[in-house]
Chain A
């Protein structure tokens, strides 16, 4: 039974068929009132296909197989408009606004390419971080790509190993599914250190979805979904070079490039080498503020476009070594010093394949494959962790319609195979997961309303059948106001040790319950996005609220005891309520301002009572200013985040005159960058933590790291002070045909 299912999945299906776009064409009239335009023409540039809008201004257009495509919308008496339709816009809803050709040119809104936009076309609330946004900070690797974004927080989970995790809605990063072009990524053993494995220069864009994602993407998106689009051979630069250095002794070199073999084959290569070579101990506690490290990463991807067959595949390899802890520590000869040594390596291969059927334009099937091998070894003082993971993944999706294009259907199946070994000193946690799953999703589309009902069933070999229903809806209340609602269930099997590896940086014992069950959560929420005009420029206001509650959770309790950390199933309630409000204003022609406020109420039974999770502030504020000169030669960016007070877990305090507080302080984090663009070169210089805010006494009892009081996990603010960095980029674009 299982093998025949496997055979079905491994057969080659077609991946990209024809896509259907629907939409409305409006004309901007007096006082910017929108009226629908019948008889407007929409033509696709690549395929030559076209259509005309109906009497109510609506249209349906079948796109050709080569996406992205350019669509030209025209109507007599109006300026033409061009729209880029991408693969992700299949079955999307477009709103096109044309301007009368008798308007003075200065009055015609110049479409600025927005660097941070909330996509109106999608049913889910998706934030897009594009290339323009990624350039605002040095973005050395994925963990630094969220510095100018308010929805995703990135935190250092301990003061020694340099591990960074993201947080969405106040919930740990393991509850956010990270994907690489719709392939689940950075799972299992990579959940803590994986963010360093993806250099920022490889990323083309990032899509952030709050709440549970589509059933098509898997069952693990509980708080949200982060999808990474890496640069693709068709569009990326022919040659790209980047070099970076900072005052702490970190240096980095990146080289990317693409070449075309012939009309059908294209390839992209990516290489990255980085290291942290400086011994920094500015707070003089004899511990390195940042670990020394070396890492190497390479990726090669290929894309094949035939007449009836398309394919993408690639391979990626990564090696990283980190040495942290007391200054002078080396894992080869520790000299009795306390240190942390982490070694990470992985190799993975991915492929997406498909056939095209010319006779069935509204249907498509696609298959995605991924294989990974990962090894992670971490030594924290005397505690040794070794981990090994072998993972395989296949996902096949059928995409079609029922009757007409108002009713879309997606269905398919997936198979996850994971062999994860986690060994911590004498504790051996090994498991093999085989999870076949099936899913189906129905989408109803009309001009103002899009609703998606999805469900998936996964047959977990260890934990039985898991059902995950999902619901998403988008209602255009007015032409400029969108309401979105989402609800769903997600689950994941926790990896006790690697998910919490930073908690080894303490002398506390780990007490792990023997019957850990999968984590299951329900998430519901909604958002309102209002577009409005500031003079002639587009501004956005959005507010969203999400509530997540856990049926079961791996509760990490640091409050129950002063000498140990307890890991166990949830007994009681665990709830997270988050509210985020954001305003984006183009204050001047070239000055964009963005403000955001976030409220996080994340409570779980900790230390015997329901209280806010440690180190999650209730309030957070954020502001970003971006200024570009009109001749595009200079870019100035400034970001400030203000973190409110948060609760700190109690520590076993040694007898000393050092005061250890129970609440963290309010503090600001300021970053700024200046970029100068000269033809194909960019020169950038910037600073991080410009306020030089440093957490005092981040380490508990650093004089006795092997003693009973030592704790390096109480980190809520930067330990290193102001960082100044500089770098250069060189880009050579591909020749356009």
Chain B
């Protein structure tokens, strides 16, 4: 009986420790409206991501996701595979080359 109670207690506590959704803000190399479309259209349809919003003016990507289904590292990899930096994870160079001019770093700077 005690074991069952301990088990239930542990399970309940653990479920509090692991939150159902997490929100993170990543700094990307996205520069323009085209980047916003590309990143958001990919991420918003990825399993485990509740929403992804990019503000290309600040280059910050806000992502709300379910850690049980996808990890932050996997999200960063997805962004990198699209050709953009995501905090510490750098853009995949081959994929970055395929982007239109305005999306490349410095593409929008005077």
Which A residues are closer than 8 A to B by beta carbons? 41-43, 45, 50, 70, 72, 74, 79-82, 105, 108, 110-111, 629-633, 678-679, 736-737
Contact = CB atoms under 8 A, between A and B. Distances in A.
A50 B109 CA distance: 12
B89 to A, nearest CB: 19
Given A631-B44, A679-B45, A105 B58 contact: yes
B19 interface: no
Interface in B61-102: 64, 100, 102
Given A72-B110, A82-B32, A631 B50 contact: yes
A100 to B, nearest CB: 12
Contacts of B57: 79-82, 108, 110-111
A105 B50 contact: no
16 contacts: A45-B102, A72-B108, A72-B109, A72-B110, A74-B110, A79-B57, A79-B58, A80-B109, A81-B57, A82-B57, A108-B58, A110-B57, A631-B50, A632-B40, A632-B44, A736-B34
A630 B53 contact: yes
Contacts of A678: 45
B41 interface: yes
B54 to A, nearest CB: 10
A105 to B, nearest CB: 4
Interface of B: 25, 32-34, 40-41, 44-45, 49-53, 55, 57-58, 60, 64, 100, 102, 108-110
A42 B108 CA distance: 11
A678 B41 CA distance: 9
- Point out which of B40, B55, B58 has the most chain A C-beta atoms below 10 A from its C-beta: B58
By secondary structure, the B interface counts as mixed
By secondary structure, the A interface counts as loop
A633 B49 CA distance: 12
A43 B52 contact: no
Given A79-B57, A79-B58, A632-B44, A74 B109 contact: yes
Contacts of A111: 57
Given A105-B25, A629-B51, A631-B44, 12 more contacts: A74-B110, A79-B57, A79-B58, A81-B57, A82-B33, A105-B55, A105-B60, A108-B58, A110-B57, A630-B64, A679-B45, A737-B100
Contacts of A679: 41, 45
Contact of A631 (B52, B102, B110): B52
Given A43-B110, A72-B108, A110 B55 contact: yes
Contact of A630 (B45, B51, B60, B100): B51
B37 to A, nearest CB: 8
Contacts of A81: 57
Given A105-B25, A105-B60, A45 B108 contact: yes
Contacts of B53: 110, 630
A631 B49 contact: yes
Contacts of B25: 105
A42 B110 CA distance: 8
B9 to A, nearest CB: 35
- Point out which of A41, A70, A80, A737 has the most chain B C-beta atoms below 10 A from its C-beta: A80
Contacts of A70: 32, 102, 108
- Point out which of A43, A629, A631, A737 has the most chain B C-beta atoms below 10 A from its C-beta: A631
A629 B50 CA distance: 10
A729 to B, nearest CB: 15
Nearest to B53: A630
Nearest to A589: B53
The 4 A-B residue pairs whose C-beta atoms are closest, nearest first, are A43-B110, A631-B51, A630-B51, A631-B44
